């Protein structure tokens, strides 16, 4: 084989190994010998680490099952999650048109003894009236065939204006009724990084599900916010842990990072998870586990007891600096200058689903739920004020134009 073909094959291999999940991941303990999927399946001595969820003291596995997966058709995957220690399940009433919660209920119908060993977190999507949320809790209990929800999240809250006395009263009442154990919120931080501190100051949230990844952890304001949450006893659940981009990106730094971590025995996706677990303030990291291969590789990364070195962390910082302009952190600065009606963060998230997760149908479905007049005029707007405000210098106008072509 000539030198050019060797280089091409090597590049193709590295790209495949780092794409979407970690299906070619290798356990650090036996680098170059056995696939991580085999290691996770065969090494019965590996045990999923747990951490306390804030002041509740409830121990949860550091790896959680996240993502809007149809669990009615993924019962085997759900069973494997349980057997491998991934017993934190993140769901919502609207995930997979309700089939995520219904699939959990089907699982407990078959394995009722597993319920006491599983921690369930769910949400009422796009419901903010206390009566609607209360009804959704009752529906979720029925769907999931359970008497209680371990953690109920107030969905996608990004401003303290939503911390109303009525919602607090609802949370306390549902705890008293025994329908929920803990009350938290999920947030994409669209109103700025200071939001974490505002959650801590509220004093009545038990947990928060927020964007935490190797890129966000480099920001002083994010670290201060996590400190405030920890100091207030608020449990931290990390989402969007593996930094998926709003467009297709490949840089020399990306290839260099792939090579670095593959040489150490694991993929870039595993390294990104390890970076989140490296921060002990995080109780669990929800991963978008959509296949058995991703599950096994995620478990291998969680259970191998190998942390990142200072050199590994420097490599991730290098990668973050090189790819920052392709990642939307959801800070909301674009909304501050363009208005909430611009829906820029939403479109950015849909493009992340399209490019980063390969969830094209989901991205298109969500995009088509936007108001028709917004979709029709999306590409024609002047986004220069938003681009000037964006801390990552994302070419927002270009992304919006691409969205009209790919998602319409």
Place of tokens 């590994």: 312
pLDDT of residue 192: 58
Tell me, yes or no, whether 15 lies in a domain.
Answer: no
Active site residue 128: no
Q: Which of 88, 95, 154, 214 is catalytic?
A: 95
Rg (CA), the chain: 21
Pair (179, 298) in one structural domain: yes
Domain housing 230: 35-311
Please tell me whether residues 184 and 289 are part of one structural domain. yes
Tell me whether strands 88-90 and 63-66 are parallel, antiparallel or unpaired.
Answer: parallel
CA-wise closest residue to 133 among 97, 169, 99? 169
Residue 4 lies in a domain: no
Is residue 379, in this structure, part of any structural domain at all?
yes
Split into its structural domains, the chain has a count of 2
pLDDT at residue number 191: 55
In a domain, 130, yes or no: yes
**Phi and psi, residue 384, nearest 5°:** -60, -35
The DSSP line for 86-109 is --EEE--TTGGGGHHHHHHHHHHH
Q: Label residue 393 left, alpha or beta by phi (over 0 means left) and psi (-120 to 50 means alpha).
A: left
The residue among 311, 342, 364 that closes a domain is: 311
Residue 389 lies in a domain: yes
Is 247 in contact with 16 (CB distance < 8 Å)? no
Q: Is 228 in the same domain as 104? A: yes
Q: How far is CA 380 from the centre of its chain?
A: 31
Indicate the SS3 state at residue 120.
strand
End-to-end CA distance of the chain: 45
Same domain, yes or no: 251 and 390? no
Task: Tell me: do 39 and 163 sit in the same domain.
Answer: yes
E strand or H helix that includes residue 60? strand 59-61
380 and 295 fall within a common domain: no
Angle between helices 292-303 and 75-83 (to 10 degrees): 10
The H or E element that residue 12 is part of is: helix 3-17
* Cβ atoms of residues 292 and 74 within 8 Å: no
Indicate if 165 and 92 belong to the same structural domain. yes
Tell me whether residue 8 is in a domain: no
Q: Are strands 63-66 and 284-288 parallel, antiparallel or unpaired?
A: parallel
Look at the alpha carbons of 39, 44, 47, 48 in this order and tell me if their dihedral is positive or negative.
Answer: positive
307: which DSSP letter? P
**Does a structural domain hold residue 24?**
no
Instruction: Say if residue 192 is in the same domain as residue 59.
Output: yes
Q: Residue 248: its pLDDT value, please?
A: 77
Do both 332 and 290 map to the same domain?
Answer: no
120, β-bridge pairs:
89
pTM of the model: 0.84
Instruction: Determine the pLDDT at residue 324.
Output: 85
Q: Are strands 59-61 and 63-66 parallel, antiparallel or unpaired?
A: unpaired
234 and 113 assigned to the same domain: yes
pLDDT tens, position by position, for the chain (408 residues)?
444 444 444 444 444 444 444 443 333 332 333 333 333 444 434 699 999 999 999 999 999 999 789 999 999 999 999 999 999 999 999 999 999 999 999 999 999 999 999 999 999 999 999 999 999 999 999 999 999 999 999 999 988 999 999 999 999 999 999 999 999 999 976 555 689 999 999 999 999 999 999 998 988 888 999 999 999 999 999 998 988 888 876 789 989 999 999 999 989 999 999 999 999 999 999 999 999 999 999 999 999 999 999 999 999 999 998 888 888 887 888 988 999 899 998 999 899 989 988 889 989 999 999 999 999 999 999 999 999 999 889 999 999 999 999 999
- Between CA 362 and CA 346 the distance in angstroms is 13
The CATH number linked to 153 is: 3.20.20.100
Shared domain for 222 and 335, answered yes or no, is: no
DSSP per residue over 177-242, as a string? HTSEEEEEEEE--TT-TTHHHHHHHH---SEEEEE--TTGGG-HHHHHHHHHHHHTT-EEEEESTT
Q: DSSP letters along 354-407, please?
A: HHTS--HHHHHHHHTTS-HHHHHHGGGS--HHHHHH-TT---HHHHHHHHHHHT
Predicted local distance difference test score (pLDDT) of residue 329: 80
Phi, psi of 371 (to 5 degrees): -55, 140
- Is 355 found in the same domain as 231? no
């Amino acid at each position: 084989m000539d030198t050019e073909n060797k280089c091409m094959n090597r590049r193709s291999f590295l790209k495949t190994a780092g794409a979407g999940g970690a299906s070619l991941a290798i356990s650090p303990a036996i680098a170059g010998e056995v696939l991580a999927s085999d290691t996770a399946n065969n090494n019965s001595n590996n045990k999923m680490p747990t951490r306390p969820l804030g002041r509740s003291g409830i121990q949860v596995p550091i790896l959680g099952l996240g993502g809007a997966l149809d669990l009615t058709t993924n019962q085997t995957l759900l069973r494997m999650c349980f057997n491998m220690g991934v017993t934190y399940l993140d769901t919502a009433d609207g995930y997979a048109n309700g089939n995520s919660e219904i699939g959990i209920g089907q699982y407990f119908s078959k394995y009722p003894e597993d319920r006491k060993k599983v921690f369930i977190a769910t949400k009422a999507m796009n419901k903010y009236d206390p009566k609607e949320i209360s009804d959704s809790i009752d529906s979720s209990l029925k769907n999931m065939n359970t008497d209680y929800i371990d953690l109920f999240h107030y969905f996608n809250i990004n401003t303290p204006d939503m911390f109303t006395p009525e919602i607090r009263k609802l949370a306390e009442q549902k705890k008293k009724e025994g329908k929920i154990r803990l009350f938290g919120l999920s947030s994409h931080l669209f109103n700025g990084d200071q939001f974490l501190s505002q959650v801590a100051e509220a004093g009545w949230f038990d947990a928060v599900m927020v964007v935490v990844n190797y890129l966000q952890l480099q920001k002083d304001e994010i670290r201060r916010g996590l400190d405030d949450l920890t100091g207030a006893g608020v449990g931290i659940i990390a989402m969007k842990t593996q930094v998926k981009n709003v467009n297709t990106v490949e840089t020399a730094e990306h290839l260099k990072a792939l090579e670095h971590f593959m040489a150490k025995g694991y993929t870039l996706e595993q390294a990104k998870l390890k970076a989140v677990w490296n921060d002990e303030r995080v109780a669990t990291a929800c991963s978008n586990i959509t296949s058995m291969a991703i599950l096994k590789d995620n478990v291998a990364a969680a259970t191998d007891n190998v942390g990142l070195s200072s050199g590994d962390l420097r490599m991730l910082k290098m990668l973050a600096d090189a790819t920052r302009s392709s990642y939307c952190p959801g800070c909301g600065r674009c909304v501050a200058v363009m208005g909430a009606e611009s829906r820029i963060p939403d479109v950015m998230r849909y493009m992340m689903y399209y490019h980063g997760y390969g969830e094209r149908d989901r991205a298109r479905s969500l995009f088509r739920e936007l108001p028709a007049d917004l979709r029709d005029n999306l590409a024609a707007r002047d986004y220069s004020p938003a681009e000037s405000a964006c801390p990552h210098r994302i070419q927002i106008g270009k992304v919006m134009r691409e969205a009209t072509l790919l998602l319409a």
